[in-house]
């Protein structure tokens, strides 16, 4: 697919400087792009490449003043990074529209319902009473259990497994290998030291505009629903346990684990390898630094936390500074101990000058 600068500017509401008829067919990083590709500059760190890149079209911020003239066509926008993301999304959507129809071999139960313009890949499986919305894409090797509901314009990538009764909303993307609706980790200890499995009878509900990374797992609820609300973004290798609720527009980085029945607020940001204990709440707008361990409820909104156990961010940084200074502090304490010891020795010495002669 090819797009001219004029077409691109229209899509991202940009202003053209240069040849509006020049066309591109692909994208490239500004330091590596070649002729026929489009690139962008958002980070000033890479500005030097603006004057050496071979890209045919470059998207830049309105506010950027050029240090010298360049031959490429420029499209100025308010936010180059956001505009580039919008453009790539449109490109991806156009490419995806070419995927339609049911490939063979695959299995679709007689009671399943597929909407218009659905793509259903080879070796995919749809159980009884599955519903798939219009324009959704089910890639090869996907398994949809009985009574699973998939919304419109949703993409389920290869090898995803969605267990019985789970609900996936509109405009959702689930990446390869993710498992939605596996049993929660529920076992009742017995008097003889064994564990009895607690049946997990609930489901998982994923609302609209959610993205779930590769090999992420979301457990079904014991009763009720594990709930992923609209706009949530989960990275690869995230574990979400049974009956967890994650609020709107929360983002969670890779290798994070959230224990059962915890409630994560909206607009929360969690760094990689964060651990969250069970049955606690995290307030809206919280920012949790990577590798932190959250063991208690966070009640106050819009605060930053760090460490294990997690402290508010400013306290954790002070603790870190003092920890690094421990060797110097130890040396100072030893020096003070010597001074005190010497002072005591001097104080106890007899004052020979004050004695009277006999």
pLDDT in tens, the chain (358 residues): 788 999 999 999 999 999 999 999 999 999 999 999 999 999 989 999 999 999 999 999 999 999 998 989 999 999 999 999 998 888 877 777 778 899 999 999 999 999 999 999 999 999 999 999 999 999 999 999 999 999 999 999 999 999 999 999 999 999 999 999 999 999 999 999 999 999 999 999 999 999 999 999 999 999 999 999 999 999 999 999 999 999 999 999 999 999 999 999 999 999 999 999 999 999 999 999 999 999 999 999 999 998 877 767 777 777 777 778 888 888 888 888 888 888 887 777 766 555 554 4
Domains in the chain, ordered, with CATH?
3-96 (3.40.1390.10), 101-315 (2.160.10.10)
What is residue 345's predicted lDDT score, i.e. its pLDDT?
Answer: 79
Q: Which two tokens stand for residue 231?
A: 């706009």
- pLDDT at residue 358, as a whole number: 45
* Residue 244: closest CA among 282, 214, 272, 215: 282
Which pLDDT belongs to residue 352? 52
Count of Cβ atoms closer than 10 Å to residue 158 Cβ: 17
Known active-site residue 242: yes
Annotate 229-239 with b (16+ C-beta within 10 A) or e (fewer): bbbbbbbbbbb
Q: Which residues of 54-69 are buried (b: 16+ CB within 10 A; e: fewer)?
A: ebbbbbbbeeeeeeee
| Per-residue pLDDT at 311 | 63
Pairing relation of β-strands 113-114 and 239-240?
A: unpaired
The pLDDT score that the predictor gives to residue 221 is 97
Q: Which of 157, 175, 209, 242 is catalytic?
A: 242
pLDDT (0 to 100) of residue 355: 52
pTM for the full model? 0.77
């Amino acid at each position: 697919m090819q797009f001219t600068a004029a077409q691109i500017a229209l899509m991202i509401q940009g202003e053209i400087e240069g040849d509006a008829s020049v066309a591109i067919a692909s994208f490239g990083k500004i330091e590596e792009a070649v002729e026929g590709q489009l690139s962008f500059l958002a980070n000033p760190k890479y500005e030097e490449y603006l004057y050496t890149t071979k890209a045919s079209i470059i998207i830049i911020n309105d506010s950027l003043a050029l240090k010298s003239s360049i031959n490429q066509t420029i499209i100025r926008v308010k936010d180059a990074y956001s505009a580039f993301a919008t453009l790539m999304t449109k490109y991806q959507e156009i490419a995806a529209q070419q995927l339609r129809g049911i490939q063979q071999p695959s299995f679709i139960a007689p009671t399943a319902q597929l909407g218009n313009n659905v793509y259903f890949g080879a070796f995919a499986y749809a159980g009884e009473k599955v519903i798939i919305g219009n324009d959704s894409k089910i890639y090869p090797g996907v398994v949809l259990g009985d009574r699973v509901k998939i919304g419109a314009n949703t993409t389920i990538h290869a090898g995803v497994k969605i267990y019985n009764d789970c609900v996936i909303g509109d405009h959702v993307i689930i990446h390869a290998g993710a498992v939605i609706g596996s049993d929660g980790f529920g076992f009742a200890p017995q008097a003889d030291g064994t564990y009895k499995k607690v049946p997990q009878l609930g489901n998982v509900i994923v609302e609209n505009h959610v993205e779930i990374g590769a090999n992420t797992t979301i457990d079904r609820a014991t009763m009720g629903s594990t709930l992923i609300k609209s706009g949530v973004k989960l990275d690869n290798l995230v574990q979400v346990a049974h009956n967890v609720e994650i609020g709107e527009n929360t983002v969670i980085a890779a290798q994070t684990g959230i224990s059962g029945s915890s409630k994560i607020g909206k607009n929360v940001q969690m760094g990689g390898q964060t651990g969250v204990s069970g049955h606690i709440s995290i307030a809206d707008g919280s920012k949790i630094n990577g590798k932190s361990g959250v063991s208690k409820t966070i009640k106050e909104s819009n605060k930053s936390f760090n460490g294990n156990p997690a402290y508010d961010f400013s306290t954790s940084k002070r603790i870190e500074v003092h920890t690094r200074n421990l060797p110097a502090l130890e040396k100072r304490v030893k020096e003070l101990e010597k001074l005190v010891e010497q002072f005591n020795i001097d104080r106890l010495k007899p004052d020979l000058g004050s004695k009277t002669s006999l």
